[in-house]
Amino acid sequence: MSADRTRGATADRTGGAAADRTRGATVTVSTHCAYCALQCGTRLHHDGRAVGVEPSPDFPVNRGRLCQKGWTAPALLTVPDRLRTPLVRRADGALAPAGWDEALDLVASRLTRLREEHGPDAVAVFGGGGLTNEKAYALGKFARVALGTSQIDYNGRFCMSSAAAAGNAAFGVDRGLPFPVTDLADADVVLLAGANPAETMPPLMRHLARPRLVVVDPRRTRTAEQAVLHLQPAPGTDLALALGLLHLAVTDGHLDKEYLDTRTTGFDAAWRYAVAWWPERVEQVTGVPVADQREAVRLLAEAGRRYVLTGRGVEQHSKGTDTTAAFINLALALGLPGRMGSGYGCLTGQGNGQGGREHGQKADQLPGYRMITDPEARAHVAAVWGVDPDSLPGPGRSAYRLLDALGTPDGPRALLLMGSNPVVSAPHAAHVARRLAALDLLVVADLVPSETTELADVVLPVAQWAEEEGTMTNLEGRVLRRRALLAPPEGVRTDLEVLHGLAVRMGQPAERFPVSPRAVFDELRRASGGGRADYAGITYERLDAGEALHWPCPDEDHPGTPRLFLDRFAHADGRARFAPVEYRDPAETPGAGHPLHATTGRVLAQYQSGAQTRRVPDLMDAAPEAHVEIHPDTAARYGLSEGDLARVTSARGSTIARVRLVRTLRTDTVFLPFHFPGAGRANLLTGPALDPVSGMPEFKVSAVRVEPWQERTT
């Protein structure tokens, strides 16, 4: 094949600022942070030598602040081991440099052959919650049109899928915060369940300075330290606590009966389960004292402006959808959602965790948050794509089920992976690594080497955040412009160029997979039009003019919808729905061989699998290695001291981590961050239990034992 046609559209690909830089001028662009779903506003500067960053003083989410990761994000642009050329695994087993045409020809020919021999579901796609809206949309389209496969999902399934399922069921639509984040600053009380924004989203704490905080977390986190009340349940018992709080809201006389009668349905069915969770029973199961339960409900019920917010600690369980629904039930019972100055929301985690799940990366969805089983949705999207609706596949496997099936007789034989590092981030990580290694073909597009690229047959180097144009959607449903400061390094292509190159080689018309982000977004607008996540009225021109546009935004005269549900919820009858949920234990509980709970999470200086942050010296100085937090009494019981190396073992495997003694931790619980590779992978401990509705793995509860580990010397 001749030189690839994806090298056009340079101005759109790199942006005007990048072009100016090549002429020697100092340039500045307004864009957004490389990391979490706050998507803090930033200004990037390049003087021809180095890139500097400063927070945007007028962006309301961060209001002139950044966290440590945001301040150090420019270091990602010059990491020494940046991928700059495709790599292909040769006959001797080593990855070796290759040209783009060779690499793409190889991938396309092998994908085509596998499809012909074994059917379209023999090839799979796995995406990421950090991809721009344009890339997430194009990846879903590529899977269903160019490959014809149903086997597509993404790592956002591990992030917010339980809240998405519960929110859709309760409200008829899933948007993390159905109100601007700035509304929180005027609250009187905020209940934070399973969220630690002081470490995971530090600029958010500026909006939580005024409210009195009630924090639900097994650990006394930095966020819990700022709370007026900290409820510290045993891991895996949040659902019992939420049922108990609803029980007290009713029995202590705080039920908003007028709101229930006019704006909700299903309370009686939910109450039939909550009625059995009297406070003494809740204390027995969770360990949270009755007085603290009652005080939490009183604070929330008697406040003028109040919010219930949930995070990963509530969701990442095999009953995460039910647990999230139980906290939504509490918010509905108190009359919070859909009112000015009050509400329920979920703190989305990944940078484009909101937009990434709206436009077709999920196994059961099409763009605009349409369901792939809906004939009208299929017809609408197929018309935009110029294909027969009957040619579109049905729903495929959710993320862990997809990874678990790789290389098996009935599973995919090839995987195209973009924007994820599942060898570190997936549950049952050693098993997932074995499944990836069993594939006939693993293709990974990334910007730096990772634990997953080490297993790949083909590695494709792609552009990163400050080198690309596009849009992101933050945790409040606000669509934002990502702007390029720099051109990608020589030899690096954008993800859109990669998908275009593969699609053309597999027989697709070139115009069906454009490389211009603006062209892709214009198509995304049409595909999402009329859907739950309607972007039809959002344009690059409006965003570049500074308009604050929250979806849904159905036409170009519409101002966007910063606050959902003020008049009605998104169900046909306009009412929110209570969910009847019943308590059940975690999939795994401590026993004689594994007497402790292990729970996983994030720390301030690292992010996700750490593939990016572990390359930033300042962040590694702050959090250099895997560690395990443990109460001093528990540590003494097992012969451990501060700074020792410990082996933490579950039924699936062991991880090695440095001991940190934490007196505020529960004596039955240890905590491990999941950012670290190799023997320090926390997800070597986590298991395959999944939420039956959302497909969320149970990251937050594993039964483990701890013991000293002596580092071997030679």
Mind giving me the DSSP string for 336-386? Answer: -TTSTT-EEEE---STTHHHHTTTT-STTEETTTEETT-HHHHHHHHHHHT
Same topology between domain 161-347 and domain 596-708: no
The string of pLDDT tens digits covering residues 658-686 is: 999 999 999 999 999 999 999 999 999 99
| Per-residue pLDDT, 283 | 98
The string of pLDDT tens digits covering residues 579-615 is: 999 999 999 999 999 999 999 999 999 999 999 999 9
Q: How far apart are CA 405 and CA 54, in angstroms?
A: 44
- Is pLDDT above 70 for 17? no
| Per-residue pLDDT, 12 | 46
Average pLDDT of the residues in 131-135: 98
Residue type for position 435: R
| Per-residue pLDDT, 22 | 47
* pTM recorded for the entire structure: 0.95
> What's the sign of the alpha-carbon dihedral 498, 501, 506, 512?
positive
| Per-residue pLDDT, 474 | 97
| Per-residue pLDDT, 406 | 98
| Per-residue pLDDT, 5 | 40
| Per-residue pLDDT, 349 | 84
| Per-residue pLDDT, 21 | 47
CATH number for 15-78 (one of 1.10.3720.10, 2.60.120.260, 3.40.50.300, 2.20.25.90): it is 2.20.25.90
Question: Any idea what DSSP says for residue 465?
Answer: G
CB contact set of 504 (below 8 Å; sequence gap of 6+): 5, 510, 513
Helices 133-141, 495-505: axis angle to 10 degrees equals 20
* Residue 32 DSSP SS3: strand
CATH number given to 87-158+352-516: 3.40.50.740
Which of 3-7, 207-211, 340-344, 704-708 comes out lowest in average pLDDT? Answer: 3-7
Q: Where are the domains of the chain?
A: 15-78, 87-158+352-516, 161-347, 596-708
At 407, the pLDDT band (50, 70, 90 cuts) reads very high
Q: Which contiguous run of DSSP H or E holds residue 153?
A: strand 152-154
At 160, the pLDDT band (50, 70, 90 cuts) reads confident
Q: Which fold has domain 596-708?
A: Barwin-like endoglucanases (2.40.40)
The string of pLDDT tens digits covering residues 600-655 is: 999 999 999 999 999 999 999 999 999 999 999 999 999 999 999 999 999 999 99
> What's the sign of the alpha-carbon dihedral 106, 112, 117, 121?
positive
CATH number for 161-347 (one of 1.10.357.10, 2.60.120.280, 3.30.1330.10, 3.40.228.10): it is 3.40.228.10
Average pLDDT of the residues in 282-299: 98
The string of pLDDT tens digits covering residues 498-543 is: 999 999 999 999 999 999 999 999 999 999 999 999 999 999 999 9
| Per-residue pLDDT, 420 | 95
- Locate 104 and state its tokens: 């793409």
Average pLDDT of the residues in 388-414: 97
CA 246 to chain CA centroid, nearest Å: 28
Helices 161-171, 320-333: axis angle to 10 degrees equals 40
- Is pLDDT above 80 for 13? no
